[in-house]
Amino acid sequence: MAVAAIRVVQLGCGITGVVCAEHLAKHPKTDELVLADKQIDAAKSLVARLKNDKLSVQKVDASDKSQLKRMLKGCDLAVTSVPSELNPILLETAISVGTNYVDFTVPLELIPKFEEMDSRCKKAGMIALTGVGSDPGISDVFAVRAVSKLDEVHEIHIRDADNALSSEHEYFTLWSPRDMIEELTMKAAIYRDGGVTWLPPLHHVEHFRFPDPIGQLPVYNTTHEETFLLPKFIDGVRQVDFKIAVWDNLAKLANTIRKIGMHSLSYVRVDGHDVKPIDVVAECLPRPVDMIGKVTGSSCVLVDVVGIRNGEKTVVRTWVAMTHDVAFRNHRTSATGYLVGTGGAAGAELVLSGDVGESGLYVPELLPTDKFVERIACKDLPPHQEISVL
């Protein structure tokens, strides 16, 4: 009996989606891979470079529910790397047609409804894996693995570094400009002693030393999915926070954007058109895909888990890093894009290989951590770990 072909759709072909798609194109269970986006130039470039008959390109608007439903019907797996505000629409569409689903960010409104959405996914007979990129994604898996090395867990601290520099642009981000602006201008969540505390945006700078060659960088608390997910799935943890490296000039810009309201998600009327101020700012910044090969520096995700081991206070530090030069030379992308897209690909491959589990809703904390780490390690991202007594 012939085995049905496996059809995968990569929805969103910016810098992270293209990285993920290249990994999935090489996966033995992928028979057909559709690269779908409203802007298809990067997808076409990937097809031309790989010369792989599995690949095709389709122009689609991810905000159009009818287009999405037609595309995902009959699809075995949909992997999405579109702006995070669209993920609820995409997940609902995947559930409605019973298509397995993977995304790179978790909408915060989904977390309180986890059990309800899990039940809906089970009823639809599909797997939905949400928030599996770099952070969230790799960071959560590192935290879960580190916890297994301790007798008690007290604190989890996630630090994201990117010290990229460009000779062409003073202001840029190698992650989704819209998502980054939103992250830097909203209140920052910290989990402490059973509840979430909110700090003002970019409230306090810490000078944190990352492993070489990155070194010391200014980092700030921002709201990230791990702050909500890790306490939900790891018993006994007392504190969880997330800090990201932000250059001084970008921090000043973000504060100015917030003070004049250009971070707003509400529509305003401009020359007869309704626009969101945040979208205007995002469109004025260079696209991450256009920065490929034009930046120097490194990207790193680091997780410190503090607790008790053999009666002593201990920290388990786990990290993964890559320089932008290596990312461009080996993978034709930036290190930031490579970390996020590779984390997403590792999660998608676990779904394709049947290693995630039965139907339902999953987050990185629920993945088989060793298998996940094996997959990123063989993709040029070997993790490093140090265990130190404090």
Distance CA 20, CA 81 (A): 9
Q: Are 80 and 21 in contact (CB under 8 A)?
A: no
The token pair at 243 is 């800090």
> Distance of alpha carbon 98 from its chain centroid, rounded?
23
Closest listed residue to residue 141, CA positions, set 376, 321, 388, 390: 376
Residues 120-178: tens digit of each pLDDT: 999 999 999 999 999 999 999 999 999 999 999 999 999 999 999 999 999 988 888 88
- The domains found in the chain, sorted by start residue, are 7-133+339-377 (3.40.50.720), 138-333+381-389 (3.30.360.10)
pLDDT in tens, 246-272: 999 999 999 999 999 999 999 999 899
The full DSSP string for 131-175 is S-BTTTBHHHHHHHHHHTT-SEEEEEEEEEEE--EESS-SS--SS
Could you tell me the two tokens for 352? 């394709």
Nearest to 79 by CA among 37, 140, 141: 37
Whether 2 has a pLDDT exceeding 50, the answer reads: no
Q: Number of C-alpha atoms within 13 angstroms, CB side, residue 322?
A: 25
Res. 4: pLDDT tops 70: no
Question: Which residue did the predictor score with more confidence, 62 or 366?
Answer: 366
Judge whether residue 31 has pLDDT over 60: yes
Q: At 142, list the tokens.
A: 């590192």
Band of residue 24 on the pLDDT scale cut at 50, 70, 90:
very high
**Residues sharing a CB contact under 8 Å with residue 322, sequence separation 6 or more, in sequence order:** 298, 299, 300, 335, 338, 339, 380, 381
| Cis before 112 (ω within 30) | no
Predicted pLDDT at 155: 97
40-71 exposure pattern, b = at least 16 Cβ within 10 A, e = fewer = bebbeebbeeeeeebbebeebebeeeebbeeb
Average pLDDT, the chain: 93
Q: What is the pLDDT of residue 66?
A: 85
- Whether the predicted pLDDT of 65 surpasses 90: no
Residues 340-364 have a mean pLDDT of 96
**CB under 8 Å to 39, separation ≥6 — which residues?**
13
Q: Give the whole-angstrom CA distance, residue 155 versus residue 151.
A: 13
DSSP states of 365-378: GGS-HHHHHHHHHT
- pLDDT at res. 3: 52
Going by pLDDT thresholds of 50, 70 and 90, the confidence category of residue 74 is: confident
Task: Identify which of 32, 91, 41, 23 has the alpha carbon closest to the alpha carbon of residue 62.
Answer: 91
Q: Which contiguous run of DSSP H or E holds residue 325?
A: helix 324-331
Give the closest residue to 143 by CA, choosing from 222, 213, 235, 246: 235
How much is the pTM? 0.93
Is it the case that residue 316 has pLDDT exceeding 90?
Answer: yes
Strand ranges inside the chain, DSSP E: 7-11, 32-37, 55-59, 77-80, 100-103, 127-129, 152-162, 165-166, 188-192, 195-199, 205-210, 215-221, 239-245, 268-270, 273-275, 295-296, 298-309, 312-323, 360-362, 384-389
State the pairing for strand pair 312-323/298-309.
antiparallel
Residues 286, 292: contact at Cβ < 8 Å?
A: no
Query: Does the pLDDT at position 292 exceed 80?
Result: yes
Neighbours of 292 (CB within 10 A): 20
Residue 107 pLDDT greater than 90, yes or no: no
pLDDT of 110 over the 60 cut: yes
Please answer whether residues 297 and 245 qualify as being in contact, where contact means their C-beta atoms are separated by less than 8 angstroms.
no
Q: Which pLDDT score is estimated for 382?
A: 96
Condensed to tens digits (0 to 9), the pLDDT of residues 78-94 reads 999 988 888 888 999 99
Q: Is a pLDDT exceeding 50 seen at residue 35?
A: yes
